[in-house]
């Protein structure tokens, strides 16, 4: 591959990308990530309200494990993830004690 040309297996667009069956994020907003996840998830993922949309996230997620990975957000962001039924997952802002 000539210098300066992007690797066709990974394309970074703004602050997120996709390649080799994974989604990649570098300081992307939670809102952007949820939009991407909804493209690949067989259901709907929603933010309960707009207060969380600008939370930032970095990392990579396998497209075929989105449902499992969405619950891992509870470990890295101040959110709670609730599966309402087979097709709906809602992300809530974690309440302070």
Q: Which residue segments constitute the domains of the chain, with CATH numbers given?
A: 11-93 (3.55.50.30)
Strand ranges in 1-97 using DSSP code E only, listed in sequence order: 11-13, 16-19, 22-29, 44-47, 56-62, 79-85, 88-93
In this predicted structure, the answer to whether residue 31 has a pLDDT above a threshold of 50 is yes
Contact 43, 88 (CB under 8 A): yes
Tokens coding 18: 């996709």
- pLDDT grade, residue 63 (50/70/90)? confident
Task: For 30, list phi and psi in degrees, rounded to 5.
Answer: -60, -35
**What is the predicted pLDDT for the residue at 25?**
86
Kindly state the average pLDDT of the residues 62-83.
91
pLDDT at 51 over 90: yes
What confidence score (pLDDT) does residue 93 get?
94
* pTM of the predicted protein model: 0.76
Residue pair 30/57 in contact (Cβ under 8 Å)? The answer is yes
């Amino acid at each position: 591959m000539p210098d300066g040309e992007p690797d066709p297996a990974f394309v970074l667009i703004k602050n997120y990308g996709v390649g080799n069956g994974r989604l990649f994020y570098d300081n992307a907003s939670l809102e952007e990530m949820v939009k991407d996840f909804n493209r690949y998830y067989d259901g709907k993922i929603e933010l309960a309200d707009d207060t969380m949309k600008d939370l930032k996230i970095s990392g990579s997620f396998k497209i075929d494990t989105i449902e499992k990975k969405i619950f891992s957000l509870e470990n890295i962001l101040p959110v709670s993830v609730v599966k309402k039924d087979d097709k709906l997952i809602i992300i809530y802002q974690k309440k302070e004690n």
